[in-house]
Structure 1
Amino acid sequence: TPWPTTQRPNMVAWMVVRNDATRYGEILVYVFPKGEAVPGPAQIESKIDTNPEMSEKLTLWDEGGSSVIRGNMLVLPVDNALFYVEPIYLRDQNTKMPLLKQVVVAAGDKIAWAENFGLAMEKVFGVGEEISSITGAPSASDPLISAVNKVNELLTQYKSQIQSNDPEAGQTFEEIKRITLELEKYKK
Structure 2
Amino acid sequence: TLWSQEGSNVLRGNLLVIPIEQSLLYVEPIYLQSSGENALPEMQRVIVAYEDTIVMERTLAGALNRIFGDVIEDPDGGETGDIDDKTIIELIAEANSLFNRSQDALKDGEWTTYGQLIEQLRIVLERLDTLQE
TM-score band, normalised by shorter chain:
0.5 to 0.7
Counterpart position of 1:74: 16
Q: 1:180 to 1:153 in 2, by over 3 A?
A: closer
Pairwise CA distance, 1:146: 4.6
Contact 2:26 2:48 in 1 (8 A): yes
Per the normalisation by structure 1, the TM-score is 0.46
Instruction: Measure the CA separation in 2 of the matches of 1:125 and 1:169.
Output: 28
Aligned to 1:31: none
Partner of 1:97: 40
* Structure-2 separation of matches of 1:176 and 1:116: 18
Instruction: Tell me the percent identity.
Output: 28
1:140 corresponds to 2:82: no
Within 5 Å, give how 1:1-188 maps onto structure 2. Answer: 60-94=2-36, 95-126=38-69, 128=70, 130=71, 140-141=86-87, 146-156=90-100, 170=108, 174=114, 176-183=117-124
Q: Deviations over 1:30-89 (max 9, x none)?
A: xxxxxxxxxxxxxxxxxxxxxxxxxxx9xx301252111111111111133211100111
Contact 1:105 1:120 (8 Å CA) reproduced? yes
Is the contact between residue 91 and residue 99 of structure 1 (CA under 8 Å) also seen in structure 2?
yes
Partner of 2:79: none
The size of the alignment, in residue pairs, is 114
Q: CA deviation at 1:183?
A: 4.6
Return closer, same or farther for 1:120/1:109 CA change in 2, 3 Å cut-off: same
Q: Is contact 1:85–1:106 with CA below 8 Å preserved after alignment?
A: yes
Q: TM-score, normalised by structure 2?
A: 0.62
Distance change (3 Å), C-alpha of 1:120 and 1:182:
same
CA apart distance, 1:102: 0.9
**AA paired with 1:177?**
I
Unaligned runs of 5+ in 1: 1-56, 132-137
**1:184 CA drift (Å):** 7.8
Q: Is the 8 A contact 1:78 1:184 kept in 2?
A: yes
Where structure 2 has 5 or more consecutive residues not aligned to the other structure, the ranges are 73-83
